[in-house]
Structure 1
């Protein structure tokens, strides 16, 4: 056994019902005196409650302040607001779009971020940033955007409807699958990913059965963190390259797109990565990984078709070209245009892989 592994420097606080106290402690540790709070519409109320005792210099929570895929003009407005109010700490309360906007501020300013996730997106545990301009999503990694601390509180996810909880959790599952064969995968990432799959396989059905219960949401939130930690180290695999292309080109909903595409990428790669396939099958508790994922999707009533998310059929060819151009090195199976066109066509139609 021989590998190089990098663990990112970040504090994680995990406790239900203690978000406000933990956020205050992290802001104090950073010696924050002028805090900027970023929150989208769905998290605005809870953000105001969590940050009520903080020295807030600017509330960045109006309609239009947080936008999916972080368009460049939206990022520029947030950066200007941070500069205007002489902000020294950013507190981001919400899902992946909120964390992504906080990262955009940190990318050009170096202002530290404290992330408070209210979904299972996982962006809070990575140094990956993404910006969208003219229908193209650009991503990169930079240590400045990694939140200094993450405050996990499963009680904050209770407002998340079951359908959104499902697709958000499947987005986390996609981090696990990509981590098994991404460019920098190693045994540590693979172990984290497998444990995350087990937590998500337990937690997501519990949320469906008991939406107001904390246990299922805690398991799912824990799995989402592990999946993101694995993904942060292993890098972006084919699945994420596809979803970034689709999100940037067609402005598709982020988590739903990941949920639809995942079974097709798994079916595409799994036969060419037998060790990863066996590990994933074991974590899903099924004879094969594809069968285990199919059973989970049936149990969760997960979305199946890109056309149901608003992707136009005539966009398949252009998307295939962009995916082939962006494909990561070392994918288990050759990424050819005919193969990717077929994958996208099946995902668009909602055909079971």
Structure 2
């Protein structure tokens, strides 16, 4: 059997494991709660967080060693004022008998649960009580020792670090996502295209499947800005992007390449299939009517199509699609050219 010091050291090792996005808080905290269940010899451990750090009104259960559907999943402050006062002050609640302890008797009265002993330790977030790790025993005579309390507080700290790590990971991913998004159109930008097209090329090598690109340049876009203003030009770009997205598959990737230029990555798509799609897009753009300040703006675009053979590099294929766009411009615009 582990000594208290060995158990805390083991908990520290477990809590140091790197994390990735988990499907649920249960999955995120499962290994920590299992450690606590084993050392404390209790029947259930659950994690509860307040709904609002600044103005908490209830605790919500986010993870448990038991099926959460089997018990109450939220506690309102107004129903348990004494218990909540202790938690929000950051106090550890160690009740050997829930029914006789003034801090916890409210829980027994309102929930009628089968817990006889309760040990709740506070989780902090930026110095504020964020919730509790709740350890419950159904035994008639369960006495919490000082070692139990120290361990439970370490468990709460481990859960706090894990939750903060998840929050940091989410923020990092959000910042990364923002770096890949063109804020005007909501499309992915050129930086994202460079990464995604390489991934598509790698898949093509592995699966031996076709891959094509469509380069698009809006015709006479400078005239739109000059005649209707830059605000209208921004609306045109956004509406064009929205129109194209409705006609693409989930696996297709439309990116704003720069200015009024756009590019589409088409996995599993031959040159012929890409040309047919480009023609459909050309017609749909030609049929667009964009209203701005009681004026109607009409739009056309020139399309360049290039299939990326296994022997072709990404740079070569982009160049061919770009040249095809220039040929479309020379051919009178509002047409599709394939190279």
TM-score, normalised to structure 1, is 0.24
Decide which structure has greater strand share: 2
TM-score, normalised to structure 2, is 0.25
Decide which structure has greater helix share: 1
Greater RCO, 1 or 2 (C-alpha within 8 Å, sep 6+): 1
Q: Which has the larger radius of gyration?
A: 2
